[in-house]
A and B are shown apart, each in its own frame.
Chain A
Amino acid sequence: MIDAGLDRIAHLLDGEALLIAFALVGLIMWVSNFLSTRLTAGRVHGSAIAIVLGLALAFWGGAATGGHKGVADLPFLSGIGLMGGAMLRDFAIVATAFEVDVARAKRAGAIGSVALILGTVLPFFFGAALAWAFGYRDAVSISTIGAGAVTYIVGPITGAAIGAGSAVIALSIATGVVKAILVMVFTPIVAPLIRLDSPRAAMIFGGMMGTVSGVSAGLAATDRRLVPYGALTATFHTGLGCLLAPSILYFIVRAMLGA
């Protein structure tokens, strides 16, 4: 009797995945804001705590299921996958554009583009040099790992385009994920040091860091009002990386290796 009842509820909840996600994330936000005011007197942003809690949950979920999508791999939390997936994330990012001050964004446009290009080229060559230091000598592997240092999407797309092995592609994805996670966690901490407090600085930040997940979470944890400016440049980053990494940048690596 009770078993049958529980069965029915479990069955019902299967169809309510997104609502479970709303309730759970609401709970995380509430706990985070509570910790922010009570433990840190508001010095650490509630959203920064919430994002770190989210990452901790993702670690727990990944360890428990052996999957690659954090808590979203747990059947009853699959709604987290929809709520935090690309569709709703991009939808919410676009919505923040309503708050953009056009004149200010235009004035920062040029320096934002410079950041965008540097933010692609510098990480690529940094990752490539590191791959060299770790003993890789072929242009394809070196370029794929370098592309992973741009973002975790540029890495595998570049690897697939120039014919890298799956182990190297996995390395490049992991490098990009580490980058995104570090940006999420450390942006609010370093924000005062790098003067991340103006729309212009946010546009530079978005172009330079690139990773949309890292930038969107990092700015959310620093100052919600900076989000649209950072997102505006960051969303062009992956496209630019996918354009440059398997072409010009790969050719440069190949020329440097003399092959």
Chain B
Amino acid sequence: MEARSRGFARMTISGVALLALCSLLGQILGEMLGYVLGVKANVGGVGIAMLLLIIARLWLARRGLLSDGVNRGVFLWGSLYIPIVVAMAAQQDVVAAIQGGPLVLAGGAGVVVLCFAMVAVLGRLAGRGETIDEIEARERAAAGIVDPSVRPTA
């Protein structure tokens, strides 16, 4: 039994399956949350799924079950993220957006400027967070890698 479960964890599908399970469960919980709140939309389904996956990763890591197969299966989809987003961009209703008229264009543009400005304001209020470059530099240093040109491919 023990050996067989380790065999499964070695396979890439174990990561893909874990990912699918967390996604489905998250969407179901988001749907239920929407129902309880009386909202006709999914409330945070994807966010809940992300939290489930984070919890699953911590749980597996603590038990030493975070195998290559699990990692490979999840990273496969994480690495397809940008191409999928490009496909998403290619199916936006750009024609309608451009032809929307002055109210639509002014509304969209104004709200984006307002929100960008608010991100800057809130960022200042929250204080400067450690940048992703600094974090990775520190982690590399901690791992004892000296070569600064070694960067994980994003």
Instruction: Kindly state the separation between the CA atoms of A81 and B88 in the bound complex, as whole angstroms.
Output: 7
Is B87 a contact of A236 with CB atoms below 8 Å? no
**B79-104 at interface with A (beta carbon < 8 Å):** 80-98, 100-104
Specify which of A99, A108, A154 lies most central, judged by the most chain B CB atoms within 10 Å of its CB. A99
Specify which of B22, B39, B87, B100 lies most central, judged by the most chain A CB atoms within 10 Å of its CB. B87
A239 and B33 contact, Cβ closer than 8 Å, known pairs A98-B75, A122-B114, A227-B81: yes
Q: Does A44 contact B (CB under 8 A)?
A: no
Instruction: Kindly state the separation between the CA atoms of A123 and B22 in the bound complex, as whole angstroms.
Output: 31
Contacts of A253 in B (CB 8 A): none
Q: Does B59 contact A (CB under 8 A)?
A: no
Is A175 a contact of B100 with CB atoms below 8 Å? yes
Contacts of A70 in B (CB 8 A): 90-94
Main SS of chain B's interface residues?
Answer: helix
Is A177 a contact of B93 with CB atoms below 8 Å? yes
Is A171 a contact of B100 with CB atoms below 8 Å? yes
Is A198 a contact of B128 with CB atoms below 8 Å? yes
Instruction: Kindly state the separation between the CA atoms of A44 and B24 in the bound complex, as whole angstroms.
Output: 36
Q: Does B126 contact A (CB under 8 A)?
A: yes
Q: Which of A91, A118, A184 touches B19 (beta carbons < 8 Å)?
A: A91
* Min CB–CB distance A250 → chain B (angstroms): 13
Is B92 a contact of A239 with CB atoms below 8 Å? no
Specify which of B119, B120, B122, B126 lies most central, judged by the most chain A CB atoms within 10 Å of its CB. B119
Specify which of B20, B84, B106, B115 lies most central, judged by the most chain A CB atoms within 10 Å of its CB. B115
Q: Does A143 contact B (CB under 8 A)?
A: no
What is the interface residue range for chain B against chain A?
35 or more
Closest to B81 in A: A92
A83 and B84 contact, Cβ closer than 8 Å, known pairs A233-B47, A235-B44: yes
Q: Does A119 contact B (CB under 8 A)?
A: yes
User: What are 28 A-B contacts defined by CB distance under 8 Å?
Assistant: A25-B83, A50-B89, A55-B92, A55-B94, A70-B91, A81-B91, A84-B84, A85-B91, A90-B23, A95-B19, A95-B74, A95-B78, A98-B54, A114-B122, A118-B118, A126-B111, A174-B96, A177-B93, A178-B105, A186-B116, A193-B116, A201-B119, A213-B88, A220-B82, A225-B136, A235-B50, A238-B42, A239-B39
Sample of 15 more A-B contacts, CB < 8 Å, known A51-B85, A174-B93, A217-B85:
A29-B82, A55-B90, A84-B87, A98-B75, A104-B135, A115-B118, A118-B118, A160-B40, A178-B105, A179-B112, A195-B123, A201-B123, A201-B129, A223-B154, A243-B39
Which 7 pairs between the two chains have the least Cβ-Cβ distance?
A178-B108, A84-B87, A239-B43, A200-B129, A54-B89, A198-B129, A84-B88
